[in-house]
Amino acid sequence: MKLNIKWALLTMIITISTVLTACEPLLVLDPKGPQAKTQADDIMLSIWLMSAIVIVVLAILVFVLIKYRASKQSDDYEPPHIEGSLLVEAICIGIPVIIVIFLSVISIDSNFKVESTPEGYEDQEPLIVYASSSNWKWHFSYPEENIETVNYLYIPAGRAIEFKLYSYGPITSFWIPQLGGQKYAMADMVTTLHLAADAPGEFMGRNANFSGAGFAKNIFDVTAMTQTEFDEWVTEVHETADPITEDKFEELLEPGHLGRSTYTGTHLEFSPAPEHNHGSTDSEVEESEHENHDPTSAVEEMEHTNH
């Protein structure tokens, strides 16, 4: 019997080791940008802190079980009367309070960091991308570049990206795990998400909020490239891609799954983003409203640049 148990344990250990060696790194713990790095550090801090608490509690449990275990005493034995310990009570109450305060301070500081321009990118102008979702696809509008893509996103590495999120259907959640945390996209308001990729690379993005039958495949590809490569891509799109029209955009909004597609122009020209901006400064709101009410400005700026 003992031999069978040993072989079962050995088999289980070998199986687990084999499976784990084939696993890819957990994306949220493999950050490629400052926002994701902040969140990954917080996750690891919480894991180590909780692990330490569990180890200490288990050690105290073992100590109590051994020290105060039942023993062979006479029938008339009476244990000594023990009064409550002020020190023990202070420890039992004080340590959890300290832990909660510590984690609260860390969380508040992290929230301020991830909700603002990424650290190290404050002195540069961010690239603004309007990311809107529909059942079950993602539309990315580049108003400055006068380009729109579906189900894929190209961004320059080493530059802050300011996403304006909203939805043409149910609430979705925009998430690129290796660049930062998720944020909701809703139908009647714009939410702002600040991200940045420190180096070129390819990442996975998805909708992290259940939104119907096609939710599982509501994903998009993200490619971070050098600024030179990004500029070359913009030029190529203007030379080869077809313009997006209102009829074409209405077709894209129909429920279903699509592959990748690219267009010149953006749907902001005839279907602007909601005017209510959540999480933006007054200047950002004014800029967004200006873009929404003057859709030809980006086109005129692009034509002026080309000439």
Q: Provide the pLDDT for residue 17.
A: 56
The answer regarding whether domain 127-306 maps to CATH 2.60.40.420 reads: yes
DSSP state of 158: T
Q: What is the pLDDT of residue 63?
A: 92
Reply yes or no on whether the pLDDT at 301 is more than 60: no
Structure tokens at 297: 């400005």
> Of the candidates 160, 164, 156, 165, which has an alpha carbon nearest to the alpha carbon of residue 125?
160
Edge-first strand listing for the sheet containing 160-167: 242-243, 261-264, 147-150, 137-142, 127-134, 160-167, 190-196, 277-278
Spell out the domain ranges in the chain. Answer: 29-57+89-114, 127-306
What are phi and psi for residue 136, nearest 5 degrees? -130, 85
CA distance 202 to 216: 20
Distance CA 176, CA 29 (A): 12
What are 232's strand-pairing partners? none
pLDDT, one tens digit per residue, over 117-173 is: 999 999 999 999 999 999 999 999 999 999 999 999 999 999 999 999 999 989 999
What pLDDT was estimated at residue 21? 47
3-state secondary structure of 171: coil
The identity of residue 288, as a single letter, is S
Question: 223: closest CA among 241, 206, 200?
Answer: 200
Q: What tokens does 1 get?
A: 């019997």
| 15-44 pLDDT tens trace | 665 554 445 568 889 999 999 999 999 999
For the segment 198-220, what is each residue's pLDDT rounded down to a tens digit?
A: 999 999 999 999 988 888 889 99
